[in-house]
Amino acid sequence: MSSADDEGSGAADDGQESAASGFARLYRRRMRRSKRIALRWAGDMRPRRKHFRSDLVAGLPGAISSVPDGMAASVLAGVNPAHGLYASFAGPIAGGLTSSTRLMVVTTTSAAALAAGSSLAALPSEERSGGMIWLTLMAGLLMLGAAALKLSRYIRFVSYSVMLGFLTGVAVNMILGQIPDLVGLEADGNLALTKALNAALNIADLDGATAIAGMAALLILIVLARTRAAVMSSLVALLLPTLGVLWFGSAGVAKVKDGGALPHGLPVPGFPDASSFDPSLILGAVSVAAIILVQGAGVAEAVPNTDGSRSSTRQDFTAQGFGNIASAFVGGQPVGGSVGQTALNVTAGARTRWAGIWSGGWMAIILISLSQVVGEVAMPTLAAILVFAGWSTIHPGEIVTVARAGTIPAVAMTATFTAVIFLPIATAVGVGVIASIVMQLNQETLDLRVVRLSPTTDGAMREAPVPVRVGDGDVVVLNIYGSLFYAGARTLQRRLPRVEAPGHPAPDGSRTGSGQPAGPVVILRLRGRTTLGATFLKVVGDYAHALAAVRGELYLAGLEPELVDRWEQRQLASSLANIRVFEARPRLGASTRDALATATSHRLTPRGDGDSAA
């Protein structure tokens, strides 16, 4: 073997050893990181002796309030209250064990219940129970998938105005949809609005005992809301009217057991029945998962960790996914981060994640010992709880603030609200997403601002209005504020100076080497941008061709090194040959001055505009 072969073989061996050692270092680094995360999680999971009693006691009010809230969520979804009760013990345990926001309680929510009910509306009543379990399981799997794909980063694209419109619409639907049950009326209609209108037209047929029980429960909720007994108000509103109904023997008042007997004790975990699966539930699961994840992100913002550590939206996605899978295995319904239950958890004195976990444990004890008693609860009391919860969720001050914030937020909020009232929830979620995208694109268009930068005598730059046109001998530096994607790039196209036809000699008499008047140079300052979209490249390409037609040039200054490399790798340098790029330098403005110097020394003498040019 020749020496050259030996050298080549040695170089190959060195390269393989280097690659192997690099892989080993990466593997060891990841293993150390995984070990640190595991140790931190294990330490965080261990119950603290000093907080044990406070967390155990704090979990009890949450479990007690989950009895009426869980049943009310099932009523809202149109299924047997057992689904909500089972979800109220499985969700807090599974979600509490894995959440990043430690005090967040993963349980039934009104929005998720309403979305689930809308998704099940097309199924026959006898198939909704099995469909609910499948819907919950698929929603949980979708949440885990969203966490694995790191989709948590896109939560910020759901605008506050869209979310406010959605939640307000959900609250109004809760109120309207429960009016018939509140006063004991039969109401037809696929929408909550039509049910309420139908009930109003048949108000003479209401059941007196049902109306008295429902209104009494509603009055109790209103009176106790501003007292120290507010924590127990739902339970009191459920118990007292129910006892009155049992005492007076009002046979016309519907009870929870009328919708199906509640099994005694805890359910046996298992997979849902395959025969109850319906493909139409897939879209509903997507909408339920989206609603739950957005609400969960809001809970994390409202209740930060007490030790100052940051919550991980991705980990909270995972926790809510596990909560829904656990709920499905015990026959529950969709669960998510609950604003109300989390606030109650904090108010009751919770110190660690174990308060939420104990809440699920207490709920299991209640189911074992009181499942038969729950069946005697009067249905109008649950309707009253939902009506009061819906009314409490509406925030007129925030609605007015968003309406006054501008036309785009007001339109987005109104469009989402209207969609929730008149369309199925799954469709309304799609309308909300589209409204968010439209808002984002319009905001990019409106926020884009272009200014001219002119050198001053002290070496600085001052901002000035963009000239209407550029012609022979002009050198113009433009700084761009705002997004350059999609509509932003098209807005830039409209705000660039118009290229003037040749034939007008420069005021200073500058000319090219051939003796012809020098063409204009436009410099776009792009410092800090990490990517350039296809629409932007199309815009600058067309503008560069227009400049080239009058012997002008277009310069892009301040490009990050990665963008310059991509410019070469993607062969943009050949397809956009009449564009010069200047790489960003550590000193601010250095690449822009390089571009000015190039325009000045190689081709032109820049036209002055009151200050000395570079």
User: Span 241-245, mean pLDDT?
Assistant: 87
pLDDT at 26 over 80: no
Query: 3-class DSSP state for residue 449?
Result: strand
List the end-to-end C-alpha distance of the chain, in Å, as a whole number.
Answer: 63
Residue 176 sits in the same domain as residue 250: yes
Residue 169 sits in the same domain as residue 70: yes
Domain assignment present for residue 286? The answer is yes
The parent domain of residue 471 ranges over 448-603
Domain assignment present for residue 97? The answer is yes
Query: 3-class DSSP state for residue 106?
Result: strand
**CATH number reported for the structural domain that contains residue 505 in this entry:** 3.30.750.24
- Give the confidence band of 440 by pLDDT, cuts at 50, 70, 90: low
> Residue 334's closest CA among 87, 534, 536?
87
**What is the DSSP pairing of strand 461-464 with strand 449-455?**
antiparallel
User: Span 243-261, mean pLDDT?
Assistant: 77
Based on C-alpha coordinates, what's the Rg of the chain? 33
Residue 69 sits in the same domain as residue 193: yes
Residue 370 sits in the same domain as residue 466: no
Give the pLDDT score at 145: 92
User: Span 395-404, mean pLDDT?
Assistant: 87
- Give the confidence band of 38 by pLDDT, cuts at 50, 70, 90: low
- Give the confidence band of 106 by pLDDT, cuts at 50, 70, 90: very high
Give the pLDDT score at 380: 86
Domain assignment present for residue 185? The answer is yes
C-alpha–C-alpha distance, residues 231 and 221, integer Å:
10
Domain assignment present for residue 182? The answer is yes
pLDDT at 366 over 80: yes
Residue 357 sits in the same domain as residue 486: no
pLDDT at 54 over 50: yes
C-alpha–C-alpha distance, residues 216 and 199, integer Å:
19
C-alpha–C-alpha distance, residues 137 and 322, integer Å:
9
Domain assignment present for residue 420? The answer is no
Residue 352 sits in the same domain as residue 491: no
What does the DSSP assignment read for 49-82? HHHHHHHHHHHHHHHHHHHHHHHHHHHHHTS-TH
Give the pLDDT score at 136: 95
Q: Which of 371, 390, 409 is the last residue of a domain?
A: 390
C-alpha–C-alpha distance, residues 404 and 271, integer Å:
50
pLDDT at 186 over 70: yes
Domain assignment present for residue 437? The answer is no
Residue 485 sits in the same domain as residue 367: no
Domain assignment present for residue 405? The answer is no
Q: Which of 370, 390, 410 is the last residue of a domain?
A: 390
C-alpha–C-alpha distance, residues 543 and 368, integer Å:
74
Give the pLDDT score at 613: 35
Left if phi > 0, otherwise alpha if psi is -120 to 50, otherwise beta: which for 422?
Answer: alpha
Phi, psi of 322 (to 5 degrees): -65, -35
> pTM (2 decimals)?
0.67
Residue 581 sits in the same domain as residue 502: yes
For 539, residues 6+ apart whose C-beta sits below 8 A from its C-beta are 489, 490, 492, 493
Q: Which of 390, 405, 434 is the last residue of a domain?
A: 390
Residue 311 sits in the same domain as residue 454: no
pLDDT at 395 over 90: no
Residue pair 214/182 in contact (Cβ under 8 Å)? The answer is: yes
Give the pLDDT score at 321: 94
- Give the confidence band of 36 by pLDDT, cuts at 50, 70, 90: low
Give the pLDDT score at 254: 80
Residue 284 sits in the same domain as residue 143: yes
Of 25-29, 137-141, 208-212, 516-520, the range with the highest mean pLDDT is 137-141
- Give the confidence band of 134 by pLDDT, cuts at 50, 70, 90: very high
User: Span 400-412, mean pLDDT?
Assistant: 82
Give the pLDDT score at 37: 53
pLDDT at 14 over 60: no
Residue 384 sits in the same domain as residue 457: no
Q: What's the total number of domains in the chain?
A: 2
Average pLDDT, the chain: 79
Quick: pLDDT tens for 315-362: 889 999 999 999 999 999 999 988 778 877 777 778 888 888 998 998
C-alpha–C-alpha distance, residues 93 and 57, integer Å:
16
- Give the confidence band of 441 by pLDDT, cuts at 50, 70, 90: low
Share of residues in the chain with pLDDT > 90 (%): 10
User: Span 488-506, mean pLDDT?
Assistant: 76
Residue 372 sits in the same domain as residue 465: no
Domain assignment present for residue 208? The answer is yes
Quick: pLDDT tens for 367-382: 888 777 777 788 888 8
User: Span 248-255, mean pLDDT?
Assistant: 77
